[in-house]
Structure 1
Amino acid sequence: MNILTSFLTKIQTFNLLIVTKGELKSPIKENGNKPAYSLTHETQYYDSFTYKSEIRVLKDMALIDLLSLDEIRLRRELDQLKKLKERFKLVWTNFHEHYSELRAEYPRSYIFSIRLQYMFIVNNLQADHADIYIGDEFVESLNDSLKIRDKFLSELVNEIEEILNPRETFEEWKAKQKSQREQEDEPEQNNTTPNVPVKIPYNPEAGLPKFNEVARKDFLKLLKDYFLESQYSQLSALINNGTPPDTQMIFNGQGNQLADAFKQLYEANLIVGCNKTELEKWIIKYFLYNNKGNTSEYTEGWISTIISSDKNVCKSPILDVVTKDKVLSLVPTVRNKKNNKY
C-alpha cells in the first residue's frame, strides 16, 4: 500500500514557494522585491507541465494497490477516502467564501482564513502577520492545484465504487431475465433454485437533466454570448435533445457563473429528472470554463459547494429566474463593468 500512501500524501501536501513579487506572472510589478507566495509549480499552467501527470500516475498505481485487498478491507479504505473527499468539500466552501474574481490582492491572513493549514499539510507557511504578498495569481494557482487533487481523488473513489458495485448493462439484464424465465418453465428447477432478487438494470438515461420546454429557449439565448459558435450548436442539441457533444464545451466566463445558472434553473423546477449530485456530474462531464485565458475543469468538490450549498452565492450571476403573474421567466443580469473581460 506504499503507492496509495504516496498518493494520499501528495494530494494533501502543499509546498509553498516564497519568491519576489517581480518574479510573479502577474502584470502588477510594483515593489518587485517584496516577498510573495507562489504555487504555480503545483498547477498545470505557466511553466509547470508534470504535476497533474504525476498525480494521475500515482492515482492509477494506487488503484492497483487497492485491487489486492479483499472486499471488507477495500470498503474500509473507501470509507477513509470519502472522509478525505468531505475535507476537500469543506476547504472549497471556505475558498469560495473568501474568493473574488475582481480582487488583485488578498489579506495576509488569507490562507489561515480558508483554514488550508488545518485541512492539509502546508510547507513553508509563514505567520499570518508576516508581510508576504498574496495576489490573485497565488489564489488562482491554489484553485487550480486544489482542482487537480480533488479530480483524481474523486476518480479513485468512483473507480473503487464501480469495482464494489458494478453496473449491470441493459443487455446483461435482458439475458438474465431470459434465463430466469427459462428456469421458471422447468418445474424441477423451480423446486431447487432459490429466489434471486431482480436487479434494476443500468439505464444511461436515468439521472440526466431534462429542461423545461418553455425555459430552455430563453436559457440557450442567454448562453449564446458565452460559447463559441462552433460549440453553440452542440450546446443546443444537448439542452434540447440530450445529445452529447463531441467534446467538452468551453464556457467563456467565470466557472461559478455557469454553475449558478444551472442551480437557479434546478431550484425553480425548470430542470427535472435528476438530483443535484447528478446535475453536478453532468456539468463536469460536458463543460469546461475559460479562467483568465486558461481552460479549467470542474471538479466534484468545487461545483458541489456552488450547487448543493446555500452558503456560496455567485456575486456576478448571468441570469435571474423571476416570477411575474405566476409565470417563471429568465432575465439576463447586468454585467459588472469591472469584469470587462466577459
Structure 2
Amino acid sequence: MKHLKKFITHLQTFNLKVVPKKIYCPKSAGREEVKVYEITHETSYGDVSFENELKLLTETALVDILVLDDRRLPAILEQLDLLEKRFQAFWVNFHSCRFDLDFNYPPDFLFQISLPKLFPVPALQPVCTGIVIDEQFVDDLTESVRLREAFLADFIRQARRLLTPEEECGKSVQPVAGKPVLSYPHFTDGVAEKFTEVLKGYFTQADQGQLLPLFLHNQAPASPLLFHGNGKQLADAFKQLYEANLIVGCLKGEMETWIATHFAYVYRGQQKSLPPNYLGAIISSNAKPCQSPILDVRKQADGSFTIVQVLRTQKNYSSY
C-alpha cells in the first residue's frame, strides 16, 4: 500500500517555494524586489516532473488496490471521497473570499481560504514575514488544484470499476425499474438568443455559430466551445439565469456537468477545462457574486426578468 499512500500524500501536499521577484509597489510607484510565493513547478505548464510523478503514482497506486479484499476497497474509496470534498471546499472558500485587490492579494489570503486547514502546506510562513502573494501565484495555485482534482477523479473512477455491482450499490438495494433520464438546461422563450448575443464577443467566429444550436436544441459541438475570459464569469452568467428561472429543466448539478462538457476557457494561451467542482463552488454554493460579471439579470416592475449586458473592456474575437 506504500504507493497508494504516496499518491494520496503527493496529491494533497502543496510545496510552495519562496523566491525573490521584482513587482510593482504602489508606495514607491516603482518596481521593487520582494519575496513571493511560487507554485508554478506544480502545474501542468510548469515543471513536467510533478505531473509525470502523479501519472506514475496513479498507476502504481492502482496496482496496490488490486490486491485489496472486498471490505478494504470501499473504505479506501470513502477516504478518497473525503479528499475530493476538501478540494470542493477549497473552491467554495476561494470564490467566497472578497477584498479590495489593488496590486497584490492580502498577506493572509491563504489563511482566508483555509488552505493550511484543508491541505498540508509545509513551506507556508506566518503572515508577519511579509511574503507577497501576487496574482501569478494565485493563478498557479488554482491551476495546481485543477490538475490534482483531475488525477483524483480519474483514480476514483478506475478504482470504482474494481467493485462488483453488489459492493458498489449495496446488496440490499434493489435496482430501480425505469429508463434513466438525462436532463440538460432548457432556456425560456427568447433567453437563448439574448444570452448568445451577450456571449458571442467572448468566442471565435467559428464557436459563435455553435452557441445557439447548443442552447436551443442541446446540439453538442464537436469540441468544447472556448470562452476567452475568466471561467468564473461564465459560471456566474449561467448561475444568474438559473436562479431567475430563465434556465429550467435540470438541477444545478446537472447544469454544472453540462457546462463542463461543452465549454472550456483560455488560461495563459492554453485551453483549460471547467471542472464540475470549480463550477459547483460558484453555481451551487452561496459564494458571493462575481466581481466582474458579463451580464446582469434584472427583475422588472411586472415581475419578469431581463438580461442586461455588463460592459467591460474585452477583446473582440469575431475577426478570428
| TM-score range for the pair, normalised by the shorter chain length | 0.7 to 0.9
- Where does residue 36 of structure 1 map in the other structure? 36
Query: What's the CA shift for 1:216?
Result: 0.9
Gap change, CA 1:111 and 1:198, over 3 Å in 2:
closer
- Preserved contact between residue 193 and residue 212 of structure 2 (Cα < 8 Å): no
Query: What's the CA shift for 1:73?
Result: 2.3
Query: What's the CA shift for 1:245?
Result: 1.4
Gap change, CA 1:202 and 1:41, over 3 Å in 2:
farther
- Preserved contact between residue 93 and residue 113 of structure 2 (Cα < 8 Å): yes
Post-superposition Cα deviations, 1:195-253, rounded to whole Å, max 9, x if no partner, equal x96644664x6132222242111111111111111112223322222122111211111
Which of 223, 230, 240 aligns to 2:216? It is 240
Query: What's the CA shift for 1:164?
Result: 4.2
Does residue 18 in structure 1 map to residue 26 in structure 2?
Answer: no
Report the TM-score, using the length of structure 1 for normalisation. Answer: 0.79
CA distance, structure 1, for counterparts of residue 268 and residue 179 of structure 2: 39
- Preserved contact between residue 18 and residue 37 of structure 2 (Cα < 8 Å): yes
Gap change, CA 1:280 and 1:17, over 3 Å in 2:
same
Q: Secondary structure at the match of 1:322?
A: strand
Query: What's the CA shift for 1:96?
Result: 2.0
Gap change, CA 1:59 and 1:287, over 3 Å in 2:
farther
Counting only pairs closer than 5 Å after superposition, residues 218-297 of structure 1 correspond to structure 2 as 218-297=194-273
Q: Rg: which structure is higher?
A: 1
Query: What's the CA shift for 1:60?
Result: 4.2
CA distance, structure 2, for counterparts of residue 285 and residue 42 of structure 1: 25
Query: What's the CA shift for 1:138?
Result: 0.8
CA distance, structure 1, for counterparts of residue 287 and residue 265 of structure 2: 22
Between Structure 1 and Structure 2, how many residues are aligned? Answer: 304
CA distance, structure 2, for counterparts of residue 23 and residue 222 of structure 1: 35
Does residue 311 in structure 1 map to residue 310 in structure 2?
Answer: no
Identity %: 38
Query: What's the CA shift for 1:103?
Result: 4.8
Gap change, CA 1:233 and 1:165, over 3 Å in 2:
farther
Unmatched segments (≥5 aa) in structure 2:
166-172
- Given residue 30 of structure 1, which amino acid in structure 2 is its aligned partner? R
Unmatched segments (≥5 aa) in structure 1:
167-195
Query: What's the CA shift for 1:281?
Result: 1.5
Counting only pairs closer than 5 Å after superposition, residues 174-213 of structure 1 correspond to structure 2 as 199-200=176-177, 203=180, 206-213=182-189
Computed over aligned residues only, the root mean square deviation of the Cα atoms, in angstroms, reads 2.9
Counting only pairs closer than 5 Å after superposition, residues 93-132 of structure 1 correspond to structure 2 as 93-98=92-97, 103-132=102-131
Counting only pairs closer than 5 Å after superposition, residues 132-211 of structure 1 correspond to structure 2 as 132-161=131-160, 164=163, 199-200=176-177, 203=180, 206-211=182-187
- Given residue 80 of structure 1, which amino acid in structure 2 is its aligned partner? Q
- Where does residue 323 of structure 1 map in the other structure? 299
Q: Secondary structure at the match of 2:128?
A: coil
Query: What's the CA shift for 1:59?
Result: 2.9
Query: What's the CA shift for 1:282?
Result: 1.5
Query: What's the CA shift for 1:65?
Result: 3.2
- Preserved contact between residue 192 and residue 212 of structure 2 (Cα < 8 Å): no
- Preserved contact between residue 95 and residue 288 of structure 2 (Cα < 8 Å): yes
